[in-house]
Amino acid sequence: MMQNTMNPGTDKTQLIDQIYRLMEQREFQNAGMLCEKVTAQFPGFAEGWVAAAEFFLRVSSPQRALELVQRATSLEPKNTHWMLLHARCLIDAGKTTDVLPLISSIAAKHGLSPQQHNELGMLLARIDHHTEAQSHYRQAVSARPDEIEFLFNLATSQRFLGEVEAAENTLDKILSLNAKDHEAAAMRSSLRKQTTQSNHVDALQRTLADQSLNPASRVSFCYALAKELEDLEVFPESFKWLKRGADLRRSGMRYQVRTDTDIIQQIMQVFRQPFFADEARGHTNEEPIFIIGLPRSGTTLVERILASHSTVYAAGELGVFGIELTKLTRQKTGQNTAGKQGDRQQFISTSAQIDYRRLGENYINGTRPLTGGSEHFIDKLPFNYLYAGLIHKALPGARIISLRRHPMDSCYSMYKQLFRDAYPFSYTLPDLADYYVAYDRLMAHWQRVIPGVIHTIQYEDLVRDTEAETRRLLAYCGLNWEPRCLDFHRNTSASTTASATQVRQKVYTTSVGKWQAYQTELRPLRRKLEEAGIAL
């Protein structure tokens, strides 16, 4: 048991060290109690408020963290470390309007350390200011040219900005410093199509032969090797390594696909026609264009086409709608979490009772200043497909574009992509099939309850007749035709998705029907989709 009092002579620094140690050991209850005691006994000690803010960030309470870090900055307003934490709390709390002025004030300070330049770069990247982020990464690398973290962040920004050759050179530098750096190897393989004259297959196989490679690293190297072998059209060998990596990744998860499919089922049960028959209108703003769909279905391609229009800004994968929906629903339920199955069910039910006009207003306010000042902005978070009906309820003037792809290509494309955190259903073929079926049924549900609202684009049609599909797309969005939309590959703005390299190229059809190279290996997936009535 932790003592309820502290001696007057207690060393404050030791207490702070203890708080961080408890957090590292995931003893959050004790860490929280100690934070409360330190801030109560030493209210003039800025580091106590900082530690408390860090604690609340770790337990996913960014608003409380923001309140606490502001206590620290009021005590030491010129402390760069506290200012950086303040900016992080603002972003986590969705207070994006106040972030840029704070970041600008930090960037204007003299004598920033390489680590502080790196932190500034990461903050700027989080709000999609990638050119400015790269400037800070370069300053960090210039000061410490062999620091792998700084080099990797630089390579990431180079990739986002389409600087493929520069990114590959930076990643080569990382791998020369550490041949086992799995993130660098994975990104390097993904940058371009590998050729018989230029590839990394031998190097990847040598690394995978090293028995000391940890599981997480082995997963990344398996995916990288599978990708390069597919580029070289060595298909059976490619799938062997892909499955090895996917199985290893899945073995470390506690995920159950039934949890997600049950959620989708309840969404369909709660958000039925009576919900949409209610005459209460949402917010009248018509700026947003939502692009939704499963990952790897062509959402980034459509984003780039639309963002090439003079009146449209690509704001990225914002996540704001889900955040604001969660805030209002938690206020209604009085819950701080929707973690357990029963809580999730109550959360979904209660979310149908909130003020949807207010949700629309909060969403619009929460996207500032990330929307570029254009007449329209794109929110390209694929998972917003879960909220399509709710988006229409909150923002009836918003456009919603759904991307669809042949089910087998869609599932295989997800299966071969190693995602950092999201999409846990993508690592086994049975999970993929179950999730795809649930997704397909939800999209059919939205079309029934809000008919004519969602504009659906078939990926295969888009790449075969890009101009015709683009004309239909612009007409749906109420936008005039601009030929520049067909030159999207010349768009120099950043792309932060797995398709960041591909969208720098002209439209190609080589990904259509790619699954057919693996008909034998994907037979269980096909059988399960067909049994569920999915048309192939």
What is the distance between the alpha carbons of residues 270 and 238, in angstroms, rounded to a whole number?
A: 43
Burial class (CB in 10 A: 0-12, 13-18, 19+), 5: exposed
Residue 233 buriedness (CB in 10 A; 0-12 / 13-18 / 19+):
exposed
393/384 Cα distance (integer angstroms): 14
Are 368 and 342 contained in the same domain? yes
Same domain for 195 and 289: no
- What type of residue sits at position 314? A
Answer for the pair 219, 245: CB distance below 8 angstroms, yes or no. Answer: yes
Establish if 432 belongs to a structural domain: yes
Tokens of 30: 């004790």
- Domain limit, last residue, from 252, 270, 289: 252
> What is the rounded CA–CA span in Å between residue 201 and residue 196?
10
> Of 193, 218, 252, which one is at a domain's C-terminal end?
252
CATH code of residue 450: 3.40.50.300
Confidence band of 114 (pLDDT split at 50, 70, 90) = very high
**pLDDT tens readout for residues 245-254:** 999 999 989 9
In a domain, 125, yes or no: no
Instruction: Say which DSSP state 314 is in.
Output: E
Strands annotated E in 433-497: 454-458
Does residue 485 sit within a domain?
A: yes
Residue type, 368: R
Per-range mean pLDDT, top range of 26-40, 270-284, 409-423, 431-445: 431-445
Structure confidence at residue 335 (pLDDT): 60
Could you give the number of structural domains in the chain?
2
Mean pLDDT to the nearest integer, 100-118: 95
Same structural domain, 218 and 273: no
- The pLDDT tens digits for 299-316 are 999 999 999 999 999 988
Question: Which residue(s) pair with 378 in the sheet?
Answer: 289, 314
Task: Quote the CA–CA distance of 194 and 283 in Å, as a whole number.
Answer: 48
Q: 184: which 2 tokens?
A: 């660098």
> Distance between CA atoms of 510 and 514, rounded to whole angstroms?
7
Residue 52 lies in a domain: no
| 432 and 485 housed in the same domain | yes
pLDDT, tens digit (0-9, with 9 covering 90-100), for 450-493: 999 999 999 999 999 999 999 999 999 999 999 999 988 765 55
- Mean per-residue pLDDT of the chain: 91
**Structural contact between residues 238 and 255, judged by C-beta atoms closer than 8 angstroms:** no
Per the listing, tokens 């059209």 go with: 233
**218 lies in the same domain as 367:** no
Q: How is 395-442 classified by DSSP, letter by letter?
A: -TTSEEEEEE--HHHHHHHHHT---SSS-GGGGSHHHHHHHHHHHHHH
**CA neighbor of 260 nearest in space, from 139, 384, 431, 402:** 431
Which pTM value belongs to this model? 0.82
Is residue 310 domain-resident?
Answer: yes
Q: How confident is the model at residue 273 (pLDDT cuts 50, 70, 90)?
A: confident
Tokens of 481: 């035709």
Give the single-character DSSP code of 7: -
Kindly report, residue by residue over 495-513, the tens digit of the pLDDT: 455 444 554 455 667 788 8
3 pLDDT exceeds 80? Answer: no
Q: What is the mean pLDDT of residues 73-94?
A: 93
Domain range for 277 is: 257-531
Instruction: Find the helix or strand (DSSP H, E) in which 86 lies.
Output: helix 80-92
Q: At what angle do helices 201-208 and 182-190 cross, to 10 degrees?
A: 150
Q: What does the pLDDT look like over 367-417, one tens digit per residue?
A: 876 676 789 999 999 999 999 999 999 999 999 999 999 999 999 999 999
Render 502-523 in DSSP notation, one character per residue. Answer: GGGS----TTTTGGGGGTTTTH
For residue 107, tell me if it sits in a domain. Answer: no
Contact residues for 528 (Cβ-Cβ < 8 A; gap 6+):
429, 430, 433, 434
Is residue 95, in this structure, part of any structural domain at all? Answer: no
Region for residue 111 given its phi and psi (left: phi exceeds 0; alpha: psi -120 to 50; beta: otherwise): left
Q: Give per-residue burial for 444-468: e unless 16+ CB within 10 Å, then b.
A: ebbeebbeebbbebbbbebbeebee
Same domain? For 345 and 484 the reply is yes
- 313 and 397: one domain? yes
As a whole-number percent, the residues of the chain with pLDDT over 90 amount to 79
Phi, psi (degrees; rounded to nearest 5) at 483? -55, -25
Helix (H, G, I), strand (E, B) or coil at 456: strand
- Please say whether the beta carbons of 376 and 313 come within 8 A: yes
